[in-house]
Amino acid sequence: MNKGSPGVISDLAKTILIGNRTYALWMFALIALSLLGLNAFSRQLAHGLYTTGMGDEVSWGLYISNFAFLVGMAAAAVMMVIPAYIFKDEEIHKVVIFTELWAIAALIMCLLFVTADIGRPDRLWHMFPVIGVFNWPMSMLTWDVLVLNGYLFLNLYVCGYVLYKKYKGQKLVARHYVPIVFLAIAWAPLIHTITAFLFQGLAARPFWHSGLIAPRFLASAFSAGPAFIILVFKIMEYFKCCTIHKDVIAKIRIIVTVSLLVNLLLFGSELFTELYSGSEHSIHLSFLLGFHGKSVLAPWIWSAVVLNIIAAIILLLPVRENPRFLNVACVMIVVGIWVEKGLGFVISGFIPTPLGDFVQYQPSLNELTVCFGILAFGLLIYTALLKIAVPIINGQLCHRKNDN
Amino acid sequence: MSTEEQKDLELKNAEKPEPAISRRYFLAGAACVSAATAVSLSPLLNAEEVPSTDDFIQKHYKQLSDEDKKEIFAKLEARIDKQYGVTATISDPQPIEGVEFAYVLNLGRCIGCRKCVYACMEENNQSRSPQKQYIRVLKMKQGTVNLETSSHDYPEKEASSEDHFYMPVACQQCREPKCIEVCPVKATWKEKDGIVVVDYNWCIGCRYCEAACPYHARRFNFAKPQIPTEDLNPDMGYLSNRPRYMGVMEKCTFCLHKTRRGEYPACMEVCPTGSRKFGNLRDPKSEVRKIIEQERVFVLKQEAGTLPKFYYTFAK
């Protein structure tokens, strides 16, 4: 990519480093938070996962919760790519790259969250094919490693190709990247399905052991991801980075609405099966909802349900045309689904333990700092990528100009 | 803002004649970020456990030659000597041909005294701080086998209560162990005699096996394991009770460093009621085999499809 053209690197570096005051403050805050996260992670490396709130009872916590949520956010980019490339929607096509870049940032966060969760990151090489031992195809975790890295690679390729060609002022050659785009379309649902399989394949955890998990993961991702993209587009418009056609937002809004309704339907279906039968398996859900003794998760999950329902109502009423209401609904969806997937899904699977022990989980401050650090780092990467991509797509940053 | 306006703005920016200042700013910024990164990483200086180069490049247990093992065991013994001042021997007894171990536990006799829990901990060099126990004794109400209503942390004086029975649960040494399937690096496997072991030097600490186990039998070293010198058991097996590392998984190994030499596991030796029976499932004359054939036995969570080799019975 940088074949004999130092101009590319200095162009990109300048674009990322120079910005107005808001941009500088935003980047400074993200860098500071990332470093705080790095500091907390160093402490965790030095003293072990004892620095987190996890234990043998609840052995996965906020790291894996965020991981599960962000895999969905990464997969959701496909909901923009499909209308852009399959239905040839011109307006969405113009901005689709911004969602593909989001997939890259989300995947990097996913990989960081997994690394943060591992007890011995120094031994990660044990997983590399050839030099390590890779338990494929038995372990769903190895599948997840393959599909996540594969999806990251596909998105890096497509974004890199499109941006570089536009920067160079050259024409895009369809056969050089469109096949990869279609491969990525097929690949995206896979990353979230396999992440769901990682959980739902475990008979030891009745709460996860349900065929509805993968569809629920997809539905919730296809509502939270595009809702986040709407917010990003609104912010980009606010800062006059680019103009987003009204139809684009309207179309994404429909995707968000349908997915949210499907998600609520699936959640309701699961709720009914578990609670109506009243079998022993329903203990996780009834505990989660606070029907079975005190649960610290109950207020969270109830707020998530309420947030999602209110958002659905807003999206179904004519008031959805009002940008302010739409923004509020989108924030509600992103927050609601983060709680539902993270706290409501991952952590509740551990309470009670397979031996019936009810142990509550409360993340430690250090653990929270690592989480915020990774999220800030992901946003830092996304902002930097957008800072480069926006002028290139708008035709303001290109190679020729540099030669003058 | 239209594209035209943006272009103007950009030209204006480009015309600003301050490359030297921006370079100075850039260097200052880069220096600040580097310094802040270094400060952020400073807790690593107090790391409780730093792997040596040999530890780092050590291969999977099954890829080690006899020579490699000899060298590694000697190194570990030297390290234990240095750290604890204890002369330990690390052995690596192999599964015996024609032997498959099984356990039978008589719930009709167990009084829930938890002597097995502590004998296990002492034998197997589990961390004392924080305390790791392989065996968990559930205090169950008579008339039910509902785990959710069982009590895990009952005080000692509540042992041998008349209206309760007690169910100790540890690794069930399944014939179809889910923990093995899910491990991404094959750091845990089933040996020929049916014992599920962990390579403490290969485990990456993802805890997927802990999530997959229906018996809550696996334990993770969230902190660096701490054992007082006087409590260290110097008779160590490489795949069982040698000191563990921070950030790796461990579990019951049926005391393989004892049982493969023909001894009984520590939990059985200490049991004051004779509730525990251990032996070779393939030997038609063994005690466990006779009990399984003659008594009414059951396994825990049969629906999980794990086919445990740990049987329970309610005998007199």
Tell whether B213 is within 8 A of chain A (Cβ).
yes
- Helix H or strand E encompassing A387: helix A365-394
Do B265 and B105 form a contact (C-beta atoms < 8 A)? no
Q: Tell me: the pLDDT tens digits for B25-49?
A: 888 888 999 999 999 999 999 999 9
For chain A, which residues make up each domain, given as ranges? 11-200+364-397, 226-361
The distance of A3 to chain B (nearest Cα, Å) reads 24
Tell whether A82 is within 8 A of chain B (Cβ).
no
Instruction: Please indicate whether, in this complex, the C-beta atoms of A135 and B44 are within 8 angstroms of each other.
Output: no
Instruction: Please indicate whether, in this complex, the C-beta atoms of B40 and A42 are within 8 angstroms of each other.
Output: yes
The Cα B220–Cα B214 span in angstroms is: 16
More reliable by pLDDT, A4 or B76: B76
pLDDT at A401: 47
Instruction: Please indicate whether, in this complex, the C-beta atoms of A356 and B149 are within 8 angstroms of each other.
Output: yes
The Cα A94–Cα A393 span in angstroms is: 8
Instruction: Please indicate whether, in this complex, the C-beta atoms of B202 and A123 are within 8 angstroms of each other.
Output: yes
Both structure tokens of A329: 């609904």
For chain B, which residues make up each domain, given as ranges? 101-313
- What are the C-alpha distances in Å from B37 to residues A38, A369, B273? 8, 15, 60
Interface predicted TM-score (ipTM) of this complex, two decimals:
0.93
Residue B300 has pLDDT above 80, yes or no: yes
Phi, psi (deg, nearest 5) at residue A338: -60, -45
pLDDT at A278: 82
CATH among 3.30.300.30, 3.90.1640.30, 3.30.70.20, 3.40.50.150 for B101-313: 3.30.70.20
Give the predicted TM-score (pTM) of the model.
0.94
Residue A388 has pLDDT above 60, yes or no: yes
What's the mean pLDDT in A129-139?
92
Tell whether A36 is within 8 A of chain B (Cβ).
yes
pLDDT band at B1 (very low <50, low <70, confident <90, very high): very low
Instruction: Give the position of tokens 């200095």.
Output: A10
Q: Tell me: the pLDDT tens digits for B5-23?
A: 555 545 444 444 444 457 7
Cα B154 from chain centroid?
24
pLDDT at B19: 47
- What are the C-alpha distances in Å from A125 to residues A108, A142, A245, B57, B206? 18, 13, 46, 10, 13
What's the mean pLDDT in A308-327?
96
Tell whether A48 is within 8 A of chain B (Cβ).
yes
Enumerate the residues of chain A whose CB falls inside 8 A of the CB of residue B26.
Answer: 17
pLDDT band at A19 (very low <50, low <70, confident <90, very high): confident
More reliable by pLDDT, A18 or A192: A192
pLDDT band at A129 (very low <50, low <70, confident <90, very high): confident
Do A309 and A335 form a contact (C-beta atoms < 8 A)? no
Instruction: Please indicate whether, in this complex, the C-beta atoms of B205 and A119 are within 8 angstroms of each other.
Output: yes
pLDDT over 70 for what percent of chain B? 93
- Helix H or strand E encompassing B136: strand B136-141
Q: Which of A363-372, B6-15, B173-182 has the lowest mean pLDDT?
A: B6-15
pLDDT band at B4 (very low <50, low <70, confident <90, very high): low
The Cα A46–Cα A154 span in angstroms is: 35
Residue A6 has pLDDT above 70, yes or no: no
pLDDT at A404: 39
The Cα B3–Cα A397 span in angstroms is: 12
Enumerate the residues of chain A whose CB falls inside 8 A of the CB of residue B130.
Answer: 50
Q: Tell me: the pLDDT tens digits for A236-272?
A: 999 988 889 999 999 999 999 999 999 999 999 999 9
Residue B253, SS3 per DSSP: coil
Do B109 and B273 form a contact (C-beta atoms < 8 A)? yes
Inter-chain Cβ pairs, chain A and chain B, closer than 8 A:
199
Residue A325 has pLDDT above 50, yes or no: yes
Do B271 and B116 form a contact (C-beta atoms < 8 A)? yes
- Find the CB nearest B224 among A48, A201, A280: A48
The Cα B25–Cα A149 span in angstroms is: 36
Instruction: Give the position of tokens 């917010």.
Output: A231
The distance of B172 to chain A (nearest Cα, Å) reads 13
The distance of A337 to chain B (nearest Cα, Å) reads 23
The Cα A297–Cα A61 span in angstroms is: 12
Rounded to whole angstroms, the maximal C-alpha distance in chain B is 95
- Find the CB nearest B182 among A139, A240, A350: A139
Q: Tell me: the pLDDT tens digits for A144-164?
A: 999 999 999 999 999 999 999
Class of residue B302 by CB neighbours under 10 A (exposed 0-12, middle 13-18, buried 19+) = exposed
The distance of A355 to chain B (nearest Cα, Å) reads 6
Cβ-defined contacts of B174-178 (< 8 Å, 24+): B174/B306, B174/B307, B174/B308, B174/B309, B175/B306, B175/B307, B175/B308, B175/B309, B176/B305, B176/B306, B176/B307, B177/B306, B178/A202, B178/A203, B178/A204, B178/B209, B178/B212, B178/B213, B178/B214, B178/B304, B178/B306
| A330, HSE (Cβ side, Cα atoms, 13 Å) | 26
Which amino acid, residue B1? Answer: M
pLDDT at A210: 93
> For the residues of A240-308, what is the DSSP string, one character each?
TS----HHHHHHHHHHHHHHHHHHHHHHHHHHHHHHHH--GGGHHHHHHTTSSS--TTHHHHHHHHHHH
Residue B295 has pLDDT above 60, yes or no: yes
Do A384 and A23 form a contact (C-beta atoms < 8 A)? no
The Cα A317–Cα B167 span in angstroms is: 57
Q: Tell me: the pLDDT tens digits for A203-217?
A: 999 999 999 999 999
| Dihedral Cα B176, A54, A147, B304, nearest 10 deg | 20
pLDDT at B17: 46
Residue A34 has pLDDT above 80, yes or no: yes
